[in-house]
Each structure stands twice: as structure tokens, then as C-alpha cells.
Amino acid sequence: MCRITRRIVAFGLAVVIGISFNGRATAQSTGQKTTADVALSGKMDRAFWIDQLDKLARPVLTNMAQDNLKKNMPVLVSKRSDNPEMRKKVAYLEVLGRTMSGIAPWLNLEGGDAHEVALRNEFRQLALKSIANAVNPSADDYVEWYKGSQPLVDASYLALTFLRCPWLWEHLSETTRGQVVDGFKLTRKVTPVYNNWLLFSGMIEAFFCKFGYEWDGMRVDYAFRQTELWYVGDGYYSDGPQFHLDNYNSYVIHPYLAKMSEVFADKVPVLKDLTDKIKARNERYAIIQERLINSDGSYPATGRSIVYRGAAFQHLADMALRKQLPEQLKPAQIRCALTAVIKKTMLAPGTYTKDGWLNIGICGSQPDLADVYNNTGSLYICSNIFLPLGLRDTDEFWSGAPVDWTEKRIWNGEDVRGDHAL
């Protein structure tokens, strides 16, 4: 069944039983939710997420798997681009690394209904072929690994992909694995910018450590120690010497610290003093993130890189995937909140070009929102809102009864417990 047909069938089913894609199930005869309603509500949400993941990732991976990405992907750049020619060249590693980092947990999962299993198997093969072309110097879609500084960023997202989906690494050919390692090593030529970029270097070393390659302890230690010096309180890091009110705590800092802490838990002495702090800050920032989601799924459009859409909530999605949400945040509550964000950022008219590629924007096509470094490839980091698809459909995140998120409850007049700093 094609994607559009599936959506029509799902929508028709929703109408018949009184369920809308916002995850609200109603028993028409009594007005009360039944066990069947609750189960179907989570299934409808998951089907909607998978449909959106398919729509987002399919053009990227089908083209790269066929070695046609550079030929067919239109590359839009900011009207204020600092270097349009360079930004276009690096767009292909950007779109691969960023797309893959978000769908990786789902690719690593096993099981599900027949349709989901078939779709996952298809995407696994597309991903393997895409990665093989990206690292093959003889392929048309071979990507830039070290010219300029940007490849360090997106190589790190590809490294994160393998950490989130070991299945991919295990199923690459020996030749491709060697070429991936060669590409990652080339990024060591890049001197990281003095901010969250230190974690990009650290993530690549985490990949080397996880899969049995020689890794640079100095890069890892420096990334942890310097990021710690930039902690400013209440779950926020300043992302460099000065604080910026943007989403980089979610785009990079918290998810990267969490994954790197996992990989290096017993290998880096500095973590002895940092692990508990990182955990507490992760929980506090998840609470803040949940409260930033307005009742309609919108959120403050502040700071740079706002065109990364749902990646603004990568951290909240990652905490749900890790099953590390603080006690006051129920998994189904986060499912409903993130579903609202996905709808707000991905269903607006103009979100995609007529050929199915993302446009620059946060709610449709809004090219003036772009920063100097943004291009079509960089937009695909929004895939990271889909991280909880790495949880089984029987997990509480998907099976739990729908729960309104905090802002929706407050602005519906409910009495909600107050918020307090860490």
C-alpha cells in the first residue's frame, strides 16, 4: 500500500470510530474512552509518525541509494549565505547525516505490524546503499569530508547514527566500513569552533571507541570539561563563552552529552564527577522543553537555526527514547505533545516542494528565517523528533492513554503544579 493510500485509509478509520490524528479517541455511545479506544489512539499516532518519517526521508535515501542525490536534490541556500558555493557542496553529507540520525532508532528496532516491518526493511536497504555511495570515492554521491569545517558537524551526526543503530554498522560491507572510518578520520583535520562543536569531535571519537577503533582521549576529555565550564544553571549550557537563547541545548548539547556519557561511562575519569550532574540537567531541560510546547503545537521561534523545525525537541524525544523522562512527565504526554509539534511544523502548506523536498521554514516556506549557513540539507535534522519510533509499539509511550501536555492543560484552565528551577 502506498503512503498516500495508507493515509486515506487511516483517516477514514479515524472518522468511522471518532478518532482524529491528534490522538484523541472517543467512545461515541458513552463519551468515555474504552481500552480499545486507548490502544487505537496510540496506534494512530504511531502510524501518523511513520507516515511523516517516510515522507521526509524517502526522497533522500532513494536518490542516494541510486547514486542520484547530487543530480536530483535541489539545494536552497539562505539569501544571506556566507558562502553559497561551499554550502551547496556540503549539503549532501548534511542531508544524509541528519536524516539518518533521527531515523536510526527506528531502523535498529525489530518487530511491529507487517506494514511497519516491510517499510523498515526497505529503509534499511536504502540506508546501507546510501552510506556506501556517500563514502565511495568512485560514486557520484561521494560527499565532502574535510574541505572547510562543516563536514565535522555532519560526520558527527552520521557517527551518532551508528551509535543509535548498530544494526547498520554490522550490516555494512567490510569495504564500506573501512571507507566510513577513513571519512571520519579526515574530519580530525578540522579545528572545532569554540562552542558546541567540541562535542562534534567528541561524538566521532565515541564512534571509534564503541566499535573498537583507536580513539583520542584528549578530544573527549576536553569536550566534557569545557562544556561543563559553560553550564549556566537550570539545565542550560551557554554554548560557548556567551549565553544564547536558542535551541542548541537540544540540537546538540544535551543529546550529545547523554550519548557520549553512555559510551565513555567507565573510560573517561572526568565522568566520575559529571554523570549525576548531566542526568539531573537532562531531566530539568526535558521539563522545560515540554513546557515550551504551546497548546497548538507551536513553540517560541527564538535564536538561530529555527528552521530546523522539530529538532528543537530532539532532547525531549531522546529522553523518551532512553526511557529517562523525569517522573512528572508521562510518556504518553510527551507523545501527544510531540505529535502536535510534528503537525504544526510538517503539515503546513509549503513545507515541501512539489517534488517532496523540504523548504526552508518552520511553518511552511519561510526563506527569510534562514541563517547564513542554512541549506536544504541542514533542514533534515528535523528527523530527530521521530526518535521515539525506536520504542516498540507496546511501550507505554505508544500504548498509554492520551494525556494533555502542560501548556494545554494550563490554558484550558486546569490547576497545574508550578514550575521551579533546578
What are the structural domain ranges in the chain? 3-190+299-410
> How is residue 349 written as a grid cell?
502548506
Intra-chain end-to-end CA distance of the chain, in Å: 49
C-beta separation of 281 from 289 below 8 A = no
Query: What pLDDT digit, counting tens, does each position of 290-311 carry?
Result: 999 999 999 999 999 999 999 9
CB distance 189 to 147 below 8 Å: no
Question: Backbone dihedral region of 302: left (phi > 0), alpha (psi from -120 to 50 degrees) or beta?
Answer: beta
Nearest to residue 314, comparing CAs of 384, 259, 239, 236?
Answer: 384
DSSP H or E run through 316: helix 314-322
**pLDDT at position 147:** 85
Least confident of 22-31, 67-76, 116-125: 22-31
Q: Read off the pLDDT band of 40 (50, 70, 90).
A: confident
CB 23 within 8 A of CB 45: yes
Q: Which helix (H) or strand (E) holds 406?
A: helix 406-410
Q: If pLDDT is split at 50, 70 and 90, which confidence band does 11 have? A: very low
- pTM of the complete model: 0.92
pLDDT score of 16 more than 50: no
Question: Closest Cα to residue 235, out of 218, 257, 216?
Answer: 257
Q: Which amino acid is at 177?
A: R
H helix or E strand, kind and range, residue 233: strand 231-233
171-181 pLDDT, tens per residue? Answer: 999 999 999 99
When pLDDT is cut at 50, 70 and 90, the band that residue 97 belongs to is very high
Cβ count near 253 (within 10 Å):
24
The two counts, helices (H) then strands (E), for the chain are 17, 2
Averaged pLDDT of the chain: 93
Q: Residue 146 has what pLDDT?
A: 87
Residues 132 and 180: their CA atoms lie apart, in Å, by 8
Cα 356 from Cα 58, distance rounded (Å): 9
| pLDDT score, position 32 | 55
Phi and psi at residue 390, to the nearest 5°: -75, -5
Q: Residue 10 above 50 pLDDT? A: no
Residue at 168: amino acid letter: L
Give the residue ranges of DSSP H helices in 174-253.
174-186, 197-210, 217-229, 248
Task: Give the pLDDT confidence score for residue 3 in this predicted structure.
Answer: 54
Cα–Cα dist 268/335, whole Å? 34
Give the pLDDT band (50/70/90) at residue 156: very high
Q: What is the pLDDT of residues 77-93, one digit of tens each?
A: 999 999 999 999 999 99
What is the Cα–Cα distance from 330 to 320, expressed in whole angstroms? 9
pLDDT at 406 over 70: yes
pLDDT score of 2 more than 60: no
- Higher pLDDT: 369 or 7? It is 369
Which residue in 373, 355, 407, 418 sits closest to 71, CA to CA? 355
Model confidence over 17-31: pLDDT tens digits? 333 334 433 333 344
